[in-house]
Amino acid sequence: MTTLTDQWLHPRAPRDQFPPYELGDPDVVGRAEARTSTLARIYHKSQEQAWDGRAVLDELEAKHGGIRFPEDKKAAFARVAAVLLWGELAAWSISADLALKLEDTPAKMAASSQVFDEARHFYVLRDYLWRAGIPVERLGGFSRNLLVDLLETDNLLHKVVGMQLMVENTAVILFKMIAEARLEPVLTELLYYFERDEARHVGLGVLVLPDILAGLSPREARALWWFQTRIQLAMLAGGMTMREPFAALGVDQREMQRYGFRLHADALRRMRAQHGEGTGADDARVKGLFAVSKQGQERLGQFLFPAADAPAWHKATIRTMVAAAARADGWLARRGDGRRADAAPGVPHM
């Protein structure tokens, strides 16, 4: 019999496990229920909080007398929106993949409800951009690589850690900080709905992961740590390429980074606390997960975002890194475009 952790690391094909008759056995289900009812609640909550994207967008537009996005910020927002929009599409496919492959019913339910949320996020954001007259842009190379990695991995643990803990976390922060920048009233109110859904998606990771992580061997934990490090580096590099657009929108990237660390630490704390603190097995519940100390976070922030009075060599180093990240981002994007063109001959470039 395979353990839950094994099922996540090496998902079984339907021919080897379908139908799982134990799901119809009230005794088996009853025993598992207590452990997982909170997780199933994500599904029910998602039903209760579901919103009609078309109606919400129409109502907000009517309330504010249309969408008038400031012309001088459209280009900057288009860059940020590309990450958000294509990120939503990836989240949609990834959650559908999880809904398909997870065998644990409550987790499968939570992932299924996320599919509906992400589909809504994608079409509403795209509709908003069209209505606001903001071009739908292509994705930078670092962001594309990161999302392709998450789409392609067969390892469900890597998929969930990457998506629910890292990408969803970033989504919560982006939606919140862009809303706080008050760029355009319809967008500001709309993003509140997105943020609430994304917070629930982080919750799926927080609830489901501790049991899986506790079963990891040291080697598997190291593989997970390395996987997250690669994602983190891609996010850092991708963030470097977005300095100008965020500055133009009045969104403080240093603050964004601080907030990101805070949310991640909060997720880890919730995971440790799940079965009561002080059980002695706390650390097993976050085994292999990335964590940076408070001092480490501060040092990284000070390095990446030099203060106005920082030495000239420091500022020059960062300028060089930003320029290198932009070049690498463009190169990776062009390489990705080449692959897309090869894979789908006859499909016109959009």
For 225, half-sphere exposure in the C-beta direction (CA atoms, 13 angstrom radius) is 14
- To the nearest whole angstrom, how small is the minimum distance from the Cβ of residue 271 to Fe ion? 18
Q: Quick one: which of 281, 310, 192 has its CA closest to 318?
A: 310
Q: Could you give the CA distance from residue 253 to residue 236 in angstroms, rounded to a whole number?
A: 11
Q: Which is nearer to Fe ion, 127 or 337 (CB)?
A: 127
176 in contact with Fe ion (CB under 5 A): no
Determine which helix (DSSP H) or strand (DSSP E) holds 19, and give its type and residue range.
none
Q: Which is nearer to Fe ion, 82 or 216 (CB)?
A: 82
Q: Which stretch binds Fe ion (CB under 5 A): 101-109, 110-118, 137-145, 239-247?
A: 110-118
- To the nearest whole angstrom, how small is the minimum distance from the Cβ of residue 121 to Fe ion? 4
Assigned token pair, 276: 């009561």
Contacting Fe ion within 213-272 (CB under 5 A): none
Q: Which is nearer to Fe ion, 106 or 203 (CB)?
A: 203
Provide the H-helix boundaries in 49-70: 53-63
201 in contact with Fe ion (CB under 5 A): yes
Cis peptide upstream of residue 70 (ω within 30 degrees of 0):
no
Q: Quick one: which of 145, 146, 141, 147 has its CA closest to 327?
A: 141
Q: Could you give the CA distance from residue 271 to residue 7 in angstroms, rounded to a whole number?
A: 20
Q: Which is nearer to Fe ion, 101 or 121 (CB)?
A: 121
Residue 167 is classified by DSSP as: I
Q: Which stretch binds Fe ion (CB under 5 A): 10-18, 85-93, 101-109, 149-157?
A: 85-93
Q: Which stretch binds Fe ion (CB under 5 A): 15-23, 111-119, 276-284, 286-294?
A: 111-119
Q: Where are the beta strands (DSSP E) in 182-337?
A: none
Furthest C-alpha separation in the chain: 69
- To the nearest whole angstrom, how small is the minimum distance from the Cβ of residue 258 to Fe ion? 22
- To the nearest whole angstrom, how small is the minimum distance from the Cβ of residue 319 to Fe ion? 33
Residue 1 is classified by DSSP as: -
121 in contact with Fe ion (CB under 5 A): yes
Name 282's Cβ contacts closer than 8 Å, sequence gap at least 6. 272
CB 337, CB 143: distance < 8 Å:
no
Amino acid in position 278: G
The residue with tokens 């909170």 is 38
193 torsion bin: left (phi>0), alpha (psi -120 to 50), beta (else): alpha
Contact letters for Fe ion, residues 132-171 (x by CB under 5 A): ------------------------------------x---
User: By three-state DSSP, how is residue 310 classified?
Assistant: coil
198 in contact with Fe ion (CB under 5 A): yes
Name 193's Cβ contacts closer than 8 Å, sequence gap at least 6. 51, 56
Q: Which stretch binds Fe ion (CB under 5 A): 201-209, 240-248, 257-265, 313-321?
A: 201-209
- To the nearest whole angstrom, how small is the minimum distance from the Cβ of residue 171 to Fe ion? 6
Assigned token pair, 346: 């006859």
- To the nearest whole angstrom, how small is the minimum distance from the Cβ of residue 113 to Fe ion? 11
89 in contact with Fe ion (CB under 5 A): no
Q: Which is nearer to Fe ion, 205 or 238 (CB)?
A: 205
Q: Which stretch binds Fe ion (CB under 5 A): 16-24, 50-58, 114-122, 232-240?
A: 114-122
- To the nearest whole angstrom, how small is the minimum distance from the Cβ of residue 227 to Fe ion? 19
Q: Which is nearer to Fe ion, 168 or 329 (CB)?
A: 168
- To the nearest whole angstrom, how small is the minimum distance from the Cβ of residue 158 to Fe ion? 17
- To the nearest whole angstrom, how small is the minimum distance from the Cβ of residue 101 to Fe ion? 18
Q: Which stretch binds Fe ion (CB under 5 A): 81-89, 240-248, 281-289, 330-338?
A: 81-89
Residues in contact with Fe ion by the rule CB under 5 A:
88, 91, 118, 121, 168, 198, 201
